[in-house]
Structure 1
């Protein structure tokens, strides 16, 4: 016996009820449950859909779908790390390398200026303000999507979470670093200034990649990762 379309949709609701929020993970579980239910019906043809579904769900153990969700998140973390590294590397190849070198040298010469610490703090405050505004808009868009019950994919959520997490971590660390250094930057030797400039440049590149490049290419990355994503946008 094959499951009807209504029963398939019931399985999607069932996975959502059991704290599976992402459409791609839901689809994986629905496929597994549907195949298992059909096999159960071969052995127990008198069972109702709900009975066969519950019998299949029990096979996941006391933690339900949590192990599957965790496994999927680990796999997606690895995929996202590869995506992040791919975009980051681009900034050290032509033509972006020219921009990277320009930013690096700008920081190097800026650090040679007296009171450069305060210039950097003012710049950091401006960037933080701009980023908070952008994050607020992104959160509002995500909440609207959830309210309208649109399909949300794991990678899509990960892009937003990583963006917010890295931004906060980067800003706090840079702020703490600037305040911890009691010696004026312009009095340091060149090799220290080069190291500091390189570190700030790398953090800035990562911030731009996670905060702007990847979110801008999110739809392209989702289509690349999920064959069903493009189809879901047309439904």
Structure 2
């Protein structure tokens, strides 16, 4: 009968990971599984090896700073996974029937700018949505629905990714400001805003493009911060239900 890792030895592997500064439980589980498999493979050939000696040999295979590299790699993989999920949701608004909502919202913003005949309304609309959205997100939504803490203050890499994405929400919201600055200040100089010929085709096309961009950035902000965050929480609950408060 092949020798296998016992419960006590598994606990020692978790302690070993903590001694190597691996503080995230989900990453500890992954590394413990790798170490246990490597140790049991050695026992198949040399069953007389002690647990401590087999552990040292298994750990050497990770190389210098091996655990740290695995941490960085795993973190990047999680970020890529939820970035793909975020863009998948974003792109869904350019397929039927969601694309209809995209164009309706763009048309409403376009008409608002045309009716006011003042290009400053672009900034007014943008900040009218952006500032309240940031306040609501950070003071109400994130503390109540976005933030997630595991039982016993256990650290999880998955939750670190969740918190990082939520903290970066303001960066996503202020991205349109730079784009609008480029379009307005470089293409449509500020001193000409009040005299813009709103019946001119070029001006109308620029306004239409900016209206569409505003809707796109709104969808982008929602998908990045709220939709993807909810998916992370859902996946955490499915993977580690015993740690959900």
TM range (shorter): 0.7 to 0.9
- The 1-side partners of 2:24 and 2:231 are apart by 19
SS of equivalent to 2:94: coil
Change beyond 3 A, Cα 1:140–1:95: closer
| CA-CA distance at 1:206 after TM superposition | 0.9
In the alignment, structure 2 segments of 5+ residues that lack a partner are none
Give the number of equivalent residue pairs.
224
Check if 1:230 corresponds to 2:232: no
- The 2-side partners of 1:186 and 1:102 are apart by 28
SS of equivalent to 1:60: coil
SS of equivalent to 1:3: coil
- The 2-side partners of 1:186 and 1:139 are apart by 46
Q: Deviations over 1:1-46 (max 9, x none)?
A: 2111122133223223423344443222111101222334453725
Check if 1:201 corresponds to 2:215: yes
Task: Name the counterpart of 2:164.
Answer: 161
Is this contact kept in 1: 2:180–2:210, CA < 8 A? no
Change beyond 3 A, Cα 1:206–1:17: farther
Change beyond 3 A, Cα 1:77–1:213: closer
Q: Deviations over 1:207-227 (max 9, x none)?
A: 11122223234344x27xxxx
Find the structure with the greater CA-based Rg.
2
Q: Deviations over 1:55-105 (max 9, x none)?
A: 321221221312222333343344323312221122223332232222211
The partner residue of 1:122 within 128, 133, 152 is: 128
Q: Counterparts of 1:71-82 in structure 2 under 5 Å?
A: 71-82=73-84
Check if 1:45 corresponds to 2:48: yes
In the superposition, the TM-score normalised over structure 2's length comes to 0.74
The partner residue of 1:152 within 152, 156, 159 is: 156
- The 2-side partners of 1:185 and 1:17 are apart by 66
Task: Name the counterpart of 2:137.
Answer: 131
- The 2-side partners of 1:96 and 1:171 are apart by 21
- The 1-side partners of 2:112 and 2:23 are apart by 47
| CA-CA distance at 1:178 after TM superposition | 5.1
Is this contact kept in 1: 2:146–2:229, CA < 8 A? no
- The 2-side partners of 1:65 and 1:185 are apart by 61
Change beyond 3 A, Cα 1:13–1:103: farther
| CA-CA distance at 1:52 after TM superposition | 2.9
| CA-CA distance at 1:231 after TM superposition | 5.9
- The 2-side partners of 1:2 and 1:82 are apart by 39
RMSD (Å), alpha carbons:
3.2
